[in-house]
Amino acid sequence: MLAATRHRHAAHQGFTLIELMIVIAVAVAIAGVSIPVYVSYRERAKQQVTTVLVQAVAAAIDSYQVQTWTWADTTGARTTRPLWDLNNDGLLDGVPSSENAAGASPAFTSTIIDSGYMGCLDMARPIVGERFVSPQRRLIDAWGQALHVHYQAKSYGGGNYGVWSLGPDGADGTEDDIRSWEGH
């Protein structure tokens, strides 16, 4: 009798193949629902964080008292440009010497570097997290792309400049761009 009880008990240990398949199917169904929700949530979070970043940078630029930078070239001729894009690449400047070392195009001239100009982050000092700062001290968005800046009087919501991110698609002028002069 004891041997029969042991044999019957041993036969019922573990899960059947059907039970395991049901558990796997439930896990796959849960993952199928939760992964798209997570991806959507993460993308919305990146857009919201970048909107705050663009607004913070625009506010820091707006409150900076100097709007232009003047330096003398090797011939002594003086050049004045709007701050934050002295090499005219359309991007907010990082530290010029670091950008040149990383292959900035166009490169910053030695006269700009020697003039004391340190780029947007180190001069205007917007309050941003380190994950939004490239190794060249250039401001980047949640997708790792440099922030853009452009100056044109009264063109950006009544202001003289605009700061923007290209958004998740990385293309300029598309619907997902995040702009300082538009409400989000």
Q: Are 139 and 164 in contact (CB under 8 A)?
A: no
Task: Give the Å distances, CA to CA, from 182 to 82, 99, 111, 171.
Answer: 22, 29, 36, 18
Alpha helix (H) ranges present in the chain? 2-11, 17-63, 96-101, 110-114, 119-124
Per the prediction, the chain carries an average pLDDT of: 84
Residue range 59-89, pLDDT digits in tens: 888 887 677 888 887 788 888 888 888 888 8
Q: Which domains does the chain have, with CATH numbers?
A: 44-179 (3.30.700)
Integer Cα distance of 131 and 150 in angstroms? 23
> The tokens 């049901």 sit on which residue?
22
Looking at 18-22, 103-107, 118-122, which range is the least confident one?
103-107
pLDDT at 9: 55
> The tokens 């100056």 sit on which residue?
151
